[in-house]
Amino acid sequence: MLVMDAIADILKKEGLNTFFGYPTTPVIEALVKAGMKPVLCRQERVGVDMANGYARINRGKPFGVFAMQYGPGAENAFSGIASAYSDSSPVLLLPLGHRREISQVQPSFRSTRAMESVTRSAEELLLAEETPNVMRRAINQLRNGRVGPALIELPFDMVGQEFDYSPDSYRPVRQTKSAGDTRDIDEAAAMLLSAKRPVIQAGQGVLYADATAALLELAELADIPVFTTVEGKSAFPENHPLALGTAGMVQTGHGKQVIDESDVMFAIGTSLTRHFLVTRVFGVNEKRIIHATNDARDLNKGYETEIGILGDCELILRQLIEAVRDRLGAKPRQTGIRERIRTLKTDWLQQWAHKLDSTEKPITPYHVIREFSRVISADEAIVTHDSGSPRDQILPFYEATLPHSYIGWGKSHALGTGMGLTIGAKHAAPEKFCVNFMGDAAFGMTGLDFETSVRTGAPICTVVLNNSTMAIEKAHMELSHSLHRTRDIGGNYANLGRDLGGWSERVEDPAQIGPAFERAREQNREGKAALLEIITSEETDFSFRRTQMTR
């Protein structure tokens, strides 16, 4: 069998039926010949984002796959690969490589060498007969422990080689899970119940482990409030009385107050990486920390971890439930925290009512979020933001209610990432209303891939919040803007959406926001990609935004 056909057979055994790619690579033809559906992007970076979104909605079952050309194709994919690495997203990357006799010669681009820093593993296939072993090693990185992108570089002269491959040459990689040490579990349960004001932080690991039900059970049993990381958003229902929302660059009012007052934090399914989150939520050594993770490198990485628990999120949560129940008996604990959260949340929302309910023109993005939430059921949607203002405006006020109904991101990502994530999500969950909110600057990065949504039968709804400027840069570009108008950008994105084959609408009247979303949803149901261009103000107010600036 040819190497590329063996790769196709292995991916079929692993349950893959859809893959993402961009020419030229013979792997595309081999996978199609094996019965898989190809989704070809407009540029490689967005294609990797599609595989990322597909993998995250599927919880890695199956993982995402992106195949691409050597040289320029692989180079252009780097940004998307770095994003998948930041997201700990299980994406298998199959870049073609130069022929082996020239691959070592400068300036030939070698994916394994260049992308080692943004992948869990990067290996070049050098011997045809090693194909099953190389694939097995890569797929193990997509299935066990802290997952993330894995790369196999396929030299051009290798993919067409024949070798002895039989149906028994490869068996699917089995997922392996472990529970926490019983000593750690027992001490963690005692610390949580003895704390005066405990909180739980839930990360994306809860989503990958399908552990939302167990997290909810533990929180209700011990009466402990829960907040999520940005990537963990939707791991806990945000309309629940114990929900504190998401904490990252921005926070909810009730979340900030309760987290600030807490004395013990149980972090599960998160790396507790200081730079990205924790210093923005609470200071060093202010709280006692219980940290549950499947990667030993996370423990004590940025903070002193009083109790570390290594293992699978769902198994650890089930162990903690039993340990807490042994101490409490059959009756769940009641601490009064739910009423406090309700009061704080009501006060915070009242402080923002003038923006959420505003009918001003140009439209404030906060009113867009309020109207979207009013007319679109969170249970029926998959939503994501883009970097910068859309992320920081949506995260505190949009309530995700079901696991995997929101794709949170924004730690180390380029503008425009949300477009690819949403197209990938739609291919994974075609029954959902898949929506990405982006600014006009982000659309300039990846907007042409709206046509990919049209062409590949994945009708998404793209919302362009158009204020014709980079408002978030006001404080950073005062002189250059005053002299050269450096923040200003322009375009009619509704017209562009129609020209790319989709349905589109330009919204300037606040009263039309809700009806426009309903029309867009109906167009999606009819199989048409939708683009809503909403003319918004230069909104720069955020809910407890941190001073650190990230793109």
**Res. 35: pLDDT tops 50:** yes
pLDDT band at 546 (very low <50, low <70, confident <90, very high): low
Does 199 share its domain with 309? yes
Flag whether 545 is in a domain: no
Does 162 share its domain with 200? no
* Omega cis (within 30) before 273: no
- List the Cα angle 230/238/397 in 5-degree steps: 70
**What is the residue-averaged pLDDT of the chain?**
94
Helix (H, G, I), strand (E, B) or coil at 354: helix
**Res. 551: pLDDT tops 50:** no
What is the rounded CA–CA span in Å between residue 344 and residue 174?
Answer: 46
50 contacts: CB under 8 Å, gap ≥ 6:
20, 39, 41, 64, 66, 420, 421, 423, 424, 427, 452
**Res. 145: pLDDT tops 60:** yes
H-assigned helices in 456-503: 478-484, 493-499
**Res. 484: pLDDT tops 90:** yes
Let me know if 329 is exposed, middle or buried by CB neighbors in 10 A (0-12, 13-18, 19+): exposed
Task: Please report, for the domain that includes residue 135, its CATH number.
Answer: 3.40.50.970
Beta strands in 415-473 (DSSP E): 433-439, 461-466
- List the Cα angle 131/57/24 in 5-degree steps: 45
Alpha-carbon separation of residue 393 from 66, 226, 437, 467 (angstroms) = 31, 21, 10, 14
Instruction: Tally Cβ neighbours within 10 Å of residue 78.
Output: 16
Flag whether 29 is in a domain: yes
Query: Span 181-186, mean pLDDT?
Result: 98
Least confident of 305-319, 403-417, 515-529: 403-417
The pLDDT assigned to 279 comes to 44
Query: Span 425-443, mean pLDDT?
Result: 97
Does 405 share its domain with 505? yes
Does 410 share its domain with 473? yes
Is the Cβ–Cβ distance between 245 and 238 less than 8 Å? yes
Does 332 share its domain with 223? yes
Residue among 196, 200, 219 at smallest CA distance from 265: 200
**Res. 231: pLDDT tops 70:** yes
Does 212 share its domain with 240? yes
Residue among 69, 76, 133, 131 at smallest CA distance from 97: 69
Residue numbers of the domain that contains 158: 3-169
Q: What are phi and psi of 441, to 5 degrees?
A: -65, -40
Does 37 share its domain with 121? yes
Does 308 share its domain with 433? no
How confident is the model over 325-360, as pLDDT tens digits?
A: 999 987 889 999 999 999 999 999 999 999 999 999
Nearest-10 Cα torsion for 539, 543, 545, 550: -60
Let me know if 46 is exposed, middle or buried by CB neighbors in 10 A (0-12, 13-18, 19+): buried
Let me know if 545 is exposed, middle or buried by CB neighbors in 10 A (0-12, 13-18, 19+): middle
- Among the three residues 169, 199, 223, which one is the final residue of a domain in this structure? 169
**Res. 285: pLDDT tops 60:** no
Query: Span 495-506, mean pLDDT?
Result: 97
| Helices and strands in the chain, H and E counts | 21, 18
The pLDDT assigned to 330 comes to 76
Alpha-carbon separation of residue 371 from 173, 175, 240, 348, 529 (angstroms) = 45, 42, 21, 18, 20
What is the rounded CA–CA span in Å between residue 102 and residue 79?
Answer: 26
Task: Please report, for the domain that includes residue 305, its CATH number.
Answer: 3.40.50.1220
Does 238 share its domain with 268? yes
The pTM of the full predicted model, rounded to 2 decimals, is 0.95
Does 140 share its domain with 188? no
Flag whether 345 is in a domain: no
**Res. 490: pLDDT tops 70:** yes
**Res. 281: pLDDT tops 80:** no
Is the Cβ–Cβ distance between 288 and 313 less than 8 Å? no
Residue among 496, 430, 431, 414 at smallest CA distance from 462: 496
How confident is the model over 513-544, as pLDDT tens digits?
A: 999 999 999 999 999 999 999 999 999 899 98
How confident is the model over 94-126, as pLDDT tens digits?
A: 999 988 877 777 787 889 999 999 999 999 999
The pLDDT assigned to 283 comes to 52
The pLDDT assigned to 96 comes to 96
Does 160 share its domain with 214? no
What is the rounded CA–CA span in Å between residue 106 and residue 222?
Answer: 61
- The residues facing 124 across adjacent strands are 153
Query: Span 27-54, mean pLDDT?
Result: 98
The pLDDT assigned to 550 comes to 32
The side-by-side arrangement of strands in the sheet containing 530-535 is 406-407, 381-384, 433-439, 461-466, 530-535, 503-507
H-assigned helices in 310-364: 313-328, 337-356
The angle, 0 to 180 degrees and rounded to 10, between the axes of the packed helices 337-356 and 365-375 is: 120
**Res. 275: pLDDT tops 50:** yes
Q: What are phi and psi of 148, to 5 degrees?
A: 175, 175
Number of domains composing the chain: 3
The pLDDT assigned to 548 comes to 40
